[in-house]
Amino acid sequence: MSGEARSAANGEAVLEIEDLRTSFRLRRGTVRAVDGVDLFVRRSERVGIVGESGCGKSTLALSVMRLIQTPGASITGSVRLGGLDLLALAEDEMTQVRGARVAMVYQDPYTFLNPVFRVGDQIAESLIAHRGMSIADARTETLALLAKLQLPQPASIIDAYPHQLSGGQRQRIVIGMAIACRPALLIADEPTTALDVTVQAQTLRLIGRLVADLGMSLLLISHDLSVIAALCDRVYVMYAGQIVESGPVEALYGGARHPYTSALFGATTTLLDPKREFTVIPGAPPDLASPPSGCRFAVRCPHRMDRCAQPPPPFAAGPGWDARCWLLDETADASARR
Ligand SMILES: Nc1ncnc2c1ncn2[C@@H]1O[C@H](COP(=O)(O)OP(=O)(O)OP(=O)(O)O)[C@@H](O)[C@H]1O
Ligand code: SF4
Ligand SMILES: [Mg+2]
């Protein structure tokens, strides 16, 4: 386990993940989409996960929600939400936890909303199911929530069908469904990528404000470091199924330690920071069915050395950060001794 994960015990952790491994058995081999991840989120903390497409971010989130439904998929390790060991719960117990204690906002609101039900009823349903509200109380609470979501004319939107709303409004409804029961943790997986660029930043700011107002913790997934930097306190950088660096956002901005994190800063998009240039990291991530035995970033790393070929680099820990790179081996030892 990394030094950061061990230090979770010092803060009040809402979510604690240890050695999570999720794999899919395919004809070409076993894809280890999440391969030994340790991660924690403290109470009221906003934590980001950033990494390129295919590095395992959604698989990680869906594993926490116990929503991996692929036949033959395997999930091992430990996922603790408050005092609950989620991977050990029976399916009906997990159904009670989803929405009430942890909720997720997905990338595409179309797949989440039921087209034949009014959006207000879809929000109210969760209040009735999880908080035992009467239909009348749930409607009153839904109206208040629509106002919090800054939707115009809540009294008419509550009776609208999804197709009568814009993409941005639909995503606000999905966010409303997720936060209706005030879960301790909100997981948002690329919550704005299906939206127009002009609406993306507004929606992200809304999520940040709601999470702060309601005192929830946030686990925000994005391939865009500028989005994470704008909204999160701490970040985990994921590469090829593993965490390669973690620490406070300002520490990573002040000086990323892992060469992949540095490359990501170069490749960040311009959503919340229009002055940044867009560049691409040369090369491609490894096949997760047969990753290299040494550092997984080695073929793309401008700093690779002979020792990077194998074995895999261990986590090096300094004050407030963790990173998995041989370059840091000696630096980290020195800072740990200080
Ligand atoms: N149900 C599945 N069956 C087989 N392979 C899967 C399945 N879900 C994900 N994978 C594989 O697991 C790896 C991680 O995928 P995942 O969707 O978690 O990545 P991601 O980081 O969320 O990417 P993106 O940024 O594109 O959303 C990929 O190689 C993907 O092809
Ligand atoms: S371990 Fe080696 S190849 Fe991997 S990121 Fe560090 S320097 Fe680069
Ligand atoms: Mg994804």
Protein residues with CB under 6 Å of any ligand 2 atom: 258-259, 295, 297-298, 301, 303-305, 308, 313, 325-327
Determine the atom of ligand 1 nearest the C-alpha atom of 52. Answer: 25
Instruction: Tell me the residue type at 130.
Output: H
Instruction: Tell me the residue type at 23.
Output: S
Which of 201-210, 268-277, 284-293 comes out lowest in average pLDDT?
268-277
pLDDT for 285 equals 95
Q: Facing residues of 41 across strands?
A: 15
Does the pLDDT at position 337 exceed 60? Answer: no
pLDDT for 273 equals 53
pLDDT, average across residues 72-98 = 96
Instruction: Tell me the residue type at 9.
Output: A
Determine the atom of ligand 2 nearest the C-alpha atom of 313. Answer: 1
Residue closest by Cα to atom 27 of ligand 1:
53
Looking at the chain, the whole-number percentage of residues with pLDDT higher than 90 is: 75
State the pLDDT confidence band at 333, using cuts at 50, 70 and 90. very low
pLDDT in tens, 55-75: 999 999 999 999 999 998 999
pLDDT for 281 equals 86
State the pLDDT confidence band at 158, using cuts at 50, 70 and 90. very high
- Distance, in Å, from the CA atom of 2 to the CA atom of 20, rounded to the nearest integer, reads 13
Q: From the CA of 309, how far away is ligand 2's center (Å)? A: 9
Protein residues with CB under 6 Å of any ligand 1 atom: 24, 26, 31, 33, 51, 53-59, 70, 223, 288
248-252: which pairs have CB atoms within 8 A and are 24 or more residues apart? 248/320, 248/321, 249/48, 251/320, 251/321, 252/321
pLDDT in tens, 6-47: 445 445 899 999 999 999 999 889 999 999 999 999 999 999
pLDDT, average across residues 123-136 = 94
Q: From the CA of 54, how far away is ligand 3's center (Å)? A: 7
3-101+183-251, superfamily in CATH? P-loop containing nucleotide triphosphate hydrolases (3.40.50.300)
State the pLDDT confidence band at 288, using cuts at 50, 70 and 90. very high
Q: From the CA of 324, how far away is ligand 3's center (Å)? A: 23
Looking at the chain, the whole-number percentage of residues with pLDDT higher than 70 is: 90
Residue closest by Cα to atom 28 of ligand 1:
54
Nearest to 42 by CA among 3, 78, 5, 67: 5
Residue closest by Cα to atom 3 of ligand 1:
24
Determine the atom of ligand 1 nearest the C-alpha atom of 238. Answer: 21
Cα angle 257-18-265, degrees, rounded to a multiple of 5 = 25
